[in-house]
Amino acid sequence: MEWARRTMRILCVEDDVELADVISASLRLRGHVIDMVHDGETADAAHFSENYSLVILDLSLPKIDGLEVLRRIRDRDRQTPVLIMTARASIADRVAGLDRGADDYLAKPFALEELEARVRALLRRNTAAGENTLTLGDVSLNLEGRRVDICGNKLNLPRRELGVLELLMIEAGKVVSKERLHEHVFGLDDEVGVNAIEIYIHRLRKRLSMANISIKTYRGLGYMIDEP
């Protein structure tokens, strides 16, 4: 099976709840898992406990200022790209953010299309070594287009079913726990129990019934996808 990048888990830190909801909805539509927090203290704790593909960080935050959050992120993580978005428009503020390790800077107000383009660019840069396609048997999953093909026939999957299939294919031949699958497709704000994964597995088995791969259940351990 070819290696490819995973579904992207993004930490977005924005204290304006209305703007945060708009950003979150936009990025989720593009297949990302979004953890949205509204203050610097929670952002610092979230980054400490989770692995993210990207951090989108406002600078003017309650509890802990965004620049201090950025400093803490860079003290423990030099790799994850950080996109600063802020109403602070001065050159000094931009320089301060970039000097502390930010990868890009987006001034408010901004168009959603520009935010999405910058997110795509940073994620591509961070995963340039990966391939864009997962293949197992006669099933192919294109990560860039979020598309599944079985013997050349396109299969449309809802976002979370696609995320479950993706992680199973990445770990083909290995047992993946319910907890790990749940973490892969749900954000911190999603109030959905881990047993919801059973529903997605059931649906995937039906959709993939004509493919030459199978999803096996290992009770108490998780699920494994493989060729018969």
pLDDT tens-place string over residues 147-198: 888 877 888 888 889 889 988 988 888 899 998 898 888 877 777 888 899 9
pLDDT at 39: 96
Which domains are assigned to the chain? 9-126 (3.40.50.2300), 133-226 (1.10.10.10)
> pTM above 0.85?
no
pLDDT at 222: 92
Nearest to 43 by CA among 6, 100, 84: 84
Extract the tokens encoding 223: 């699920």
pLDDT at 126: 61
CA–CA separation, 100 and 158 (whole Å)? 39
What does the chain look like in DSSP terms, one character per residue?
---BPPPPEEEEE-S-HHHHHHHHHHHHHTT-EEEEE-SHHHHHHHHHHS--SEEEEESS-SSS-HHHHHHHHHHH-SSS-EEEEES---HHHHHHHHHTT-SEEEESS--HHHHHHHHHHHHHHHTTTSBSEEEETTEEEETTTTEEEETTEEE---HHHHHHHHHHHHTTTS-B-HHHHHHHH--TT----TTHHHHHHHHHHHHTTTSS-EEEEETTTEEEEE--
pLDDT in tens, 93-127: 777 888 888 989 888 889 999 999 889 888 877 65
Nearest to 105 by CA among 121, 126, 129, 127: 121
Residue 145 has pLDDT above 60, yes or no: yes
Per the rule left: phi > 0, alpha: psi between -120 and 50, beta: everything else, 222 is left
Of the candidate ranges 14-18, 46-50, 142-146, 178-182, the one whose mean pLDDT is the lowest? 142-146
pLDDT in tens, 1-37: 333 345 678 999 999 999 999 999 999 888 888 999 9
Residue partners of 78: CB distance under 8 A and separation at least 6: 101
Of the candidate ranges 72-81, 128-137, 167-176, 183-192, the one whose mean pLDDT is the lowest? 128-137
pLDDT at 189: 72
pLDDT at 1: 36
pLDDT at 133: 77
